[in-house]
Every structure is written in structure tokens, then in C-alpha cells.
Chain A
Amino acid sequence: MMNTLTSYFRVFLTFARNSLVRDMTFRTNFLIDLISSTAWVLMNVAFYTLIFRYTPAIGANTGWEKYQFFLFLATSLLINSLVHALFMTNADDLSELVRTGSLDFALLKPIDTQFLVSLVRVEWSALGNFFVGLALMGYAMYKLQYVPGVAQIVLYPVYVLCGVAIYYSLMIALAATSVWLGRNLTLFDFWFYITNFSRYPMEIYQGPWGTPLRRLFTFCIPVLVVVNVPARLLVRPINPQSLEDWILPGFAILATIGSLAGSRWVFQRALWSYRSASS
């Protein structure tokens, strides 16, 4: 078991190194990717800064004031950049592998197919936003004069990884459907529209429409858990306000395990239905 884990880890390191070599071959392109994704993020930060010129908080009595929200935004950046760097290009390529029949080569290799197709290409330039996220987090913490406790320092990375895992599960399950659909151009659209709901604190989904929506995206498709749980861990650590606050961190772990298992199942089913495209 341990042996398998080490060898898989070494394979992953090889993937990462190969991708880095490839990225460094086209250095200017890498730099442009880095700058452009950072520019998008900065523009978003500017947008929220602008909003907070007019409002003290997002939602009354929610505690999401400017710098608290920046911590939320930073968490969102960390998770998204990791997902983008590790999985997005690969998930996108999957439909192409299916369409052209190149998935055959992946199936033949003596390695777990899901592992191989999910991680073969690491998008190093996407990690730029990881550092933007860290910087934003540092800035917000400085402004809030906030020092995280031991529990936060230990649990925060765990929940960030849970968030990455949930996003990954959703993405690979969506990508795997291309086996049945032939091709899947709308993957990114779907992905964008679903994760769009997780961009803001879950408290904004209130009222006769909002509450069902919040429950749907918490308990059925757990995208709201992804950023909210780690961000809340930082922002309001000591005073849980409602029953949901108590349940949520526990539920996040369950949701992670459930999503991973579910996406594994979808992926396996997809492989069984796969018929090679060429002769």
C-alpha cells in the first residue's frame, strides 16, 4: 500500500516536472498566461473594493465586511488556482481523448486510468493566483489585526484540500460524461455556471428562493461548502451562530468523501461504456 502510494507520488512528480519543462520551453507564453490570469483576479478585487465603497458589508449582520470578505475571496483564489493548475486542462482534454480514441493509450498503461488522465498535465501558470490569494489573505489579516490560532492553522489547509477535492469530483464527473455524449464542449460552461454559486458567502441565499437554493447547493451539489467552510473557519472561528454552523464542518468532510466516491463511480461507469473511436 505504502509502496503504491510512493510510486504514484513519484509518477505525479514526473508529470509536474514534465509540465514545467514544457512550460519553460515557451517562456513568454507562460508569462502572458501568468499576467493575464492575475489581471482578471485584480479586476475582481477592484470590483469588490468598489462595492465596499458603498456598503459596510455583504448582508446585514453576517460579519462579511470588507476584509472578512477579502479572506473569503483569498480562500476562493487558493482553491480555484489549485483546481485549475492540477485538473482543469486534463478534464478538458478528456473529451478530446474520447473523441479521437486516444484514451486507448491511457487504458493500456499499468496505472490507474483516472489518476493518469486527471493529473498528466500540470498548469504551472495557474499557480500564480495561489500566491495572489496568499498575498490577499496576508493583507486582509493585517488589516483585521487577526492572528489565526492553532486550530485554524491545522484545519484550514485540510478544508481547502476538501474544497479542491469536491471541485475536482464535480469536474471529472462532468468530463467523464463525454464518453456518452461523444463530445463535451459545454463542460466549461457548466462548470462556470455551477461554481458561480460558490463565489459568495452562503448567507446571501436567503428568503423563499434563496433558502432552497442554499440547501440544494450545500447538500445535493455541495459547491457552497467548498469556499464557505474554510473561509468561515478563519472569519468567525469562535462564535457559531446557528445550528448550520455546527453541522457544516462535519458535513464538509462527508461531502468530500461522498463526492470523491461518486465521481469515481461515474468515471468507472464511463470507462465501461467507452468504445474506442478508431479501429
Chain B
Amino acid sequence: MLARAATWWTVLRISIEERLVYRGDFALGTLMRFLPIVTQIFLWAAVYEAIEAAGSGSTRIVGYSYRDMIAYYLLTMVSRVFSSMPGLASGIARDIRNGTIKKYLVQPIDMLGFLLLYRLAHKLVYYTVAAAPFALVFFLCRGYFAGWPDGSTMLAFIASLAMAFLLGFYIEATLGMMGFWFLEVNSLLFVYMLFSFFFSGHMFPIDMLPGAWGQIVKQIPLQYLAYFPAAVFLGKVTGPELYWGLWTQFGWTVLFIVLSRVVFHLGTRRYSGYGG
């Protein structure tokens, strides 16, 4: 047990050190990533200005004031920092295709656990290095926020972010392991990326979707990757709805953890590696 913990600790430490090599470039890159927000701020200002000029009474879009909208975009960037897993699924699929996945199978190490720790290390470093640029941007944009939410909302926000990380990881890992059956999963991943961008709430608050679309999107797990944590922070989801939301997110997370284990088990049964 202790030896095992030591192994995992080493994996985590090495991954952290590896990641810290390019920290300067990294911090600058993070700051640059906020540039598109500038265009969003102006775009939405123009949209709200036009709504006000039309004078239909309310200057809110599905309950979002202009300030809410900008705050929402900033918060989804935080959610995405937790839930996005660049290169995870394609990496797993590549390992399966060219056979390097053998390294996990022949060593006394659990692949999913290893990858999870590896990601965790990357994310931890990312938060440390990105904290400064994030703090700067949020400080500059503090006018768009109505203030800090209360303690329990904050707790719910943090819980939903932590689950967003796990959910994002296990969805992508499961998709990547589809490579055991299809070998080439890039098109599948592309479809996932496309849907995830649109329906996770990264592009706009999903409450804006009308009718049936809105209903469908509320039923699938993608909203928990970006929309849900942001909406929790902004107080758009409260009371029983909040509890229900957190439990549903928890349910999806557990489902994908189990699913990824099953897929891994079945996949490695199917897999055959040749050569050295």
C-alpha cells in the first residue's frame, strides 16, 4: 500500500517538474488566451445596446444582464481550465494504434490512474502559473461581477469544478479508448469537440437555446464541463435545483468512471500487440 502511494507520488512529482520547464512561455500564453474576451465584451455591449435602443422593456437575455454575460464568459474560462483535456483522447488512441500502449500493459501500473495523475500534475502546475494572469484579468474585470457569492455557493462552485475535471477526464479517456475498436477515432473526437464547444456553454449560456434544443442540452453531461460551474457562481442555479444539479453531475462522473474501466477491460481483452 505504502509502496504504491510512493509510486503515485513519484509519478505526480516527475510530471510536475516536466511541466515547469516552460513556465514563462506558459504564463504569457495564458494571458493571451484572454484576448478573445475583449472582442466578446465589445460584441455583447453592442448587442445589449441594440436591445436597449429597441426599447422592448427588459435589457436582459434569458435573465442575463450585460454584466452577467461578461462574467459568465470569464467564469466559463475557469471551468474550461478544469474540464478541458487537450490531447488526452487523441493520445490514448495514438498509443493504441502504434502499439506504445504496451508500456502500460506490461508494467505493474494502471494506465487510467497514471494518466489521471499525469493530468492532475499538469493542471496543478497550470493553476499555479496561470493564477497570476487569471487574477489580473479578474481584477481588471471586477466591475462585471456583483461581488463574491456566499460560502455555500462557493463550496458548490468548487465541488462542481472538481467534478468537471474528473468528468472531462473520463469522458475523453473513454472516447480515446474507442480506438481499441476503431483504430482511427479522429472524426469521432472532432464531433465530440464540436458538440462540446457548442453545447457545454463555452460559446454562450445554454439557457439561450430555444425549445427542444434547450431541453436536450439540459439532459446531456456536456453542460457540466463549462456552463454549470459558471451558472452556480453567478447564482443562476439555486436551492433544490442546485442540489439536483450537483448530484446529477456526480452521477455522470461516476458513470463515466465505471464506463472507462469497463471499456479499458474489454479493450485490453481485444488488443493484440506484435513486435518489439
User: Which residues from chain A sit less than 8 Å from chain B, CB to CB?
Assistant: 32, 36, 39-40, 43, 46-47, 50-51, 53-62, 186, 189, 193, 196-197, 199-201, 203-207, 210, 213
Contacts and interface: CB of A to CB of B under 8 A. Distances in A.
B190 A193 contact: no
B35 A56 contact: no
Contact of A59 (B29, B46, B61, B197): B46
Contact of B50 (A36, A50, A55, A199): A55
Nearest to B53: A60
A231 to B, nearest CB: 15
Contacts of A51: 47, 204
B190 A55 contact: no
Interface stretch (B36-44, B164-172, B251-259, B261-269): B36-44
Given A50-B208, A199-B39, A60 B50 contact: yes
Contacts of B39: 196-197, 199-200
A196 B40 CA distance: 10
B209 A50 contact: yes
Contact of B204 (A47, A204, A210, A213): A47
Given A36-B190, A193-B32, A54 B61 contact: yes
Contact of B187 (A32, A61, A210): A32
Interface residues of B, number: 31
A197 B186 CA distance: 30
A189 B30 CA distance: 11
The 4 A-B pairs of least Cβ separation, nearest first, read A60-B53, A59-B46, A204-B46, A57-B50
Contacts of B42: 200, 204-206, 210, 213
A39 B39 CA distance: 23
A197 to B, nearest CB: 6
A169 to B, nearest CB: 21
Given A59-B50, A204-B43, A186 B29 contact: yes
Nearest to A54: B61
B141 interface: no
B135 interface: no
Interface string B166-195: 000000000000000000001100100010
B35 A43 contact: no
A211 B276 CA distance: 63
Contacts, number: 86
A203 B43 CA distance: 10
A40 B54 contact: no
B50 A189 contact: no
B214 to A, nearest CB: 11
A200 B36 contact: no
Given A50-B209, A59-B50, 15 more contacts: A39-B194, A40-B194, A43-B197, A43-B198, A50-B208, A54-B47, A55-B54, A55-B61, A56-B51, A58-B43, A59-B47, A60-B53, A193-B36, A205-B42, A213-B38
A189 B204 contact: no
B51 A55 contact: yes
Given A50-B204, A186-B29, A204-B42, A59 B190 contact: no
Contacts of B187: 32, 36
Contacts of A32: 186-187, 190
A255 B127 CA distance: 41
Interface in B19-35: 29, 32, 35
A111 B48 CA distance: 53
Interface in B81-129: none
A200 B29 contact: no
B210 interface: yes
B17 interface: no
A60 B52 contact: yes
Contacts of B194: 36, 39-40, 43
Nearest to A201: B46
18 contacts: A36-B187, A36-B190, A43-B198, A47-B204, A50-B204, A50-B209, A59-B49, A60-B46, A60-B54, A62-B46, A186-B29, A196-B36, A197-B38, A200-B42, A200-B43, A200-B46, A201-B46, A206-B46
